[in-house]
């Protein structure tokens, strides 16, 4: 393995800054890097980046993307751990514009105000997350994942367990386009909101939010599992919601 560790950079990309380029990162680890702006480990602008078999852990940025910050970038991920990172927005990663395709990511122990594990904002194509795990991440909104803007998000064969937040400890979808959650599991989520209507697992809000949930399981979540608000639209089919607990 190659490791980039304990770097501190002003302006973004504590460990690595990419601009207008194409990069493959294979078996590369980013640990304990710091940025006073975006991307504690990596900041990417107008680029294409592929990750495979690496670890992004214990990095920190002030503004967005504790681990990874991408702007108008094509991001492809296969088998990556994103653990213990912190930022104001997107503790694990923050994706703005561009393309995001991810398979087999472990998001664990990331912390943020919004989007503890991941924050996906206004991507140009549907953001795709497959066979991934979101475990014990924390944020005020969207402890596991927060998505915003006109982007669509497809989540399949993924596992959300014991994430924490004030609202929607697992997934918070705001003003999204057509999005899908399929063959995924949501367990052991709790929230700190005083509003008894707020959901522990998934919040769908905004007139553009159109979400389909299919073949999924909700189990042992506190308070409401799902809330649809402010013009959001949900189609829920072939799913189980069991042993929820009223707040």
Among residues 243, 172, 182, 187, the alpha carbon closest in space to that of 214 is found at: 182
Gap between the Cα atoms of 31 and 84, Å rounded: 10
Sign of the alpha-carbon dihedral angle for 191, 193, 196, 201: negative
Residue 247: the pLDDT is 43
Q: Is there a contact between 121 and 149 (Cβ–Cβ < 8 Å)?
A: yes
Model confidence, pTM: 0.94
pLDDT band, residue 11 (cuts 50/70/90): low
Given a cut of 70, is residue 231 above it in pLDDT? yes
Reference 185, options 210, 157, 162, 164; nearest CA is 157
* d(C-alpha 56, C-alpha 80), whole Å: 8
pLDDT of 172-192, one tens digit each?
Answer: 999 777 899 999 999 999 898
Number of H helices, E strands in the chain: 0, 33
**Cα–Cα distance for residue pair 221/246, rounded to 1 Å:** 9
The pLDDT tens digits of the residues spanning 199-209 come to 899 999 988 78
Predicted confidence (pLDDT) per residue in 145-179, tens digit: 999 988 899 999 999 999 999 999 999 999 777 89
Average pLDDT value for the chain? 92
| Residue 25 predicted with pLDDT over 60 | yes
The mean per-residue pLDDT over the stretch 5-15 comes to: 69
Sign of CA dihedral 144, 148, 150, 151: negative
Whether 2 shows a pLDDT value over 70: the answer reads no
pLDDT (tens digit per residue) in 39-60 = 999 999 999 999 999 999 999 9
46 CB-contact burial (10 Å; exposed 0-12 / middle 13-18 / buried 19+): middle
pLDDT at 8: 61
**CA-to-CA distance for 26 and 91, rounded, in angstroms?**
22
């Amino acid at each position: 393995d190659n490791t980039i560790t304990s770097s501190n950079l002003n302006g973004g990309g504590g460990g690595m800054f990419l601009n207008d380029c194409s990069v493959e990162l294979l078996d590369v680890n980013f640990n304990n890097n710091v940025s006073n702006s975006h991307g504690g480990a990596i900041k990417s602008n107008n680029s294409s980046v592929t990750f495979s078999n690496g670890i992004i852990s214990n990095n920190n940025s002030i503004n967005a993307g504790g681990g990874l910050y991408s702007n108008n970038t094509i991001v492809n991920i296969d088998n990556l751990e994103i653990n213990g990172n912190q930022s104001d927005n997107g503790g694990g990663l923050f994706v703005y514009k561009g393309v995001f395709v991810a398979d087999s990511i472990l998001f664990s122990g990331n912390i943020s105000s919004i989007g503890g594990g991941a924050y996906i904002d206004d991507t140009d194509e549907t953001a795709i997350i497959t066979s991934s795990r979101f475990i014990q991440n924390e944020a005020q909104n969207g402890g596991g994942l927060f998505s915003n803007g006109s982007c669509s998000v497809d989540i399949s064969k993924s596992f959300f367990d014991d994430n924490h937040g004030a609202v929607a400890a697992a997934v918070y979808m705001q003003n999204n386009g057509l999005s899908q959650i399929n063959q995924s599991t949501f367990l052991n989520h709790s929230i700190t909101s005083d509003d008894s209507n707020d959901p522990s697992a998934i919040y769908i809000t905004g007139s553009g939010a159109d979400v389909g949930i299919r073949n999924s399981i909700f189990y042992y979540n506190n308070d409401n599992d799902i809330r649809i608000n402010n013009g959001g639209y949900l189609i829920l089919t072939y799913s189980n919601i069991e042993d929820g607990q009223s707040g």
